[in-house]
Structure 1
Amino acid sequence: MQWTNSSEHTVYENPWFRVNLADVVLPDGRHLDHYLIRLRAVAVATAVNEANEVLMLWRHRFITDSWGWELAAGVVEDGEETAAAAAREMEEETGWRPGPLRHLLTVEPSNGLSDARHHLYWTDEATRVGHPQDDFESSRREWVPLKLVPDMIARGEVPAANMAAGLLMLHHMRLG
């Protein structure tokens, strides 16, 4: 059954997102007012070294008041390619410059509420270039054994669904 967005208008906007109200037509012909959030694409990147360790960040998210492991991520700027944004974010947040990035997967973390798409990339080559420019984004950056990832996710140590999906895919590809 397909819902149809017959029209929508913006009710709030800022540089990071828009909140829109859509007039949605249900399959039986009824109309439904549905709020949705329009977001820029997000690019995510990490590296896996020869020891099958993955580069991760330990950070606090004030919105949920929770700590967890994540990968470097950020908004894709206007006109920027997603892979270039992923590389930029990885270097800014970790101090490691990625080698050639490979697309891992694209996920829609909240497609019942927003149009957000997160594009995840990885590399098996990274060069340490110094202290992270955006060191305020995480408390620490570590190379974590990939074999530990499934148990970390099961314990809730990787709370973000996009990060968990990417890490499980990497685990499967490298160790599965």
Structure 2
Amino acid sequence: MSEWTIYGARTVYSSPWVELDLVDLQPPGQARYEHHLIKLAPVAATVLHNDRGEVLLMWRHRFATDTWNWEIPSGIVEDGETLSEAAAREVLEETGYQVAATALEPLAYNQPIGGMCNAEHTVFLARDPVRVADPVDTHEADRIEWFPLTAVQQMIDDRQIVAGVAVTGLLQLLARR
């Protein structure tokens, strides 16, 4: 199978967070047509793991799916930031824990909706973070709690953890134990 031919694209909508394009393309051996493409900034996320074998999770509501679930700190990489700098910033803003960007270990990378979106999620591992302040982004979570890593698989099975970036990072940590 060969690559699809792209003849051009036009932006239908654009904001600082998302862009929607219609791409004029042709799959091999198929008719030419317009396909939608959602463009998003890269996301950096972090699994925080302590010396007691626990992970830090944030209980939050997602309006788009009307879902409550446990998540890991994550957010959009801002202009001029490296992935690890963004991950460390998001941890501090969302949880009040501090981690050094240089101490973060790459844990997982995925493209969650590759057929229609350029989204890229990079997940890091932070060991033994230090609580230095209250979270700045208080709208990010109703509660922040430590859970035994041994409980995570059941939480995923019970749909208590459903966010793709969290599931990816936590399952990767479980696989590496």
TM range (shorter): over 0.9
Moved more, 69-78 or 3-12: 3-12
> Does structure 2 retain, via aligned residues, the 8 Å contact 1:46–1:90?
no
Superposed counterparts of 1:68-107, under 5 Å: 68-99=69-100, 100-107=103-110
CA distance in 1, matches of 2:7, 2:123: 32
**Cα drift, residue 5 of structure 1:** 2.3
Are 2:159 and 1:149 aligned?
no
Task: Tell me which amino acid in the other structure corresponds to 2:45.
Answer: V
Task: Tell me which amino acid in the other structure corresponds to 1:118.
Answer: H
Q: Show the counterpart of 2:168.
A: 165
TM-score (norm 2): 0.94
**Cα drift, residue 37 of structure 1:** 0.6
Task: Tell me which amino acid in the other structure corresponds to 1:116.
Answer: A
Deviations 1:53-112 (A, max 9, x none): 011101000111110010001110111100000000001000100141011111111111
CA distance in 2, matches of 1:46, 1:135: 19
> Does structure 1 retain, via aligned residues, the 8 Å contact 2:47–2:170?
no
Task: Tell me which amino acid in the other structure corresponds to 1:85.
Answer: A
TM-score (norm 1): 0.95
Structure 1 gaps of 5+ residues are none
> Does structure 2 retain, via aligned residues, the 8 Å contact 1:93–1:134?
yes
> Does structure 2 retain, via aligned residues, the 8 Å contact 1:149–1:167?
yes
Task: Tell me which amino acid in the other structure corresponds to 2:26.
Answer: V
Task: Tell me which amino acid in the other structure corresponds to 2:22.
Answer: L
Which of 114, 122, 125 aligns to 2:117? It is: 114
Which of 132, 136, 140 aligns to 1:133? It is: 136
**Cα drift, residue 29 of structure 1:** 4.5
CA distance in 1, matches of 2:68, 2:157: 15
Coordinate RMSD, CA, aligned: 1.1
Fraction of identical pairs, as percent:
41
Q: Helix, strand or coil: the match of 1:136?
A: coil
Q: Show the counterpart of 1:10.
A: 11
Superposed counterparts of 1:24-39, under 5 Å: 24-39=25-40
> Does structure 1 retain, via aligned residues, the 8 Å contact 2:45–2:165?
no
CA distance in 1, matches of 2:99, 2:176: 19
CA distance in 1, matches of 2:80, 2:7: 29
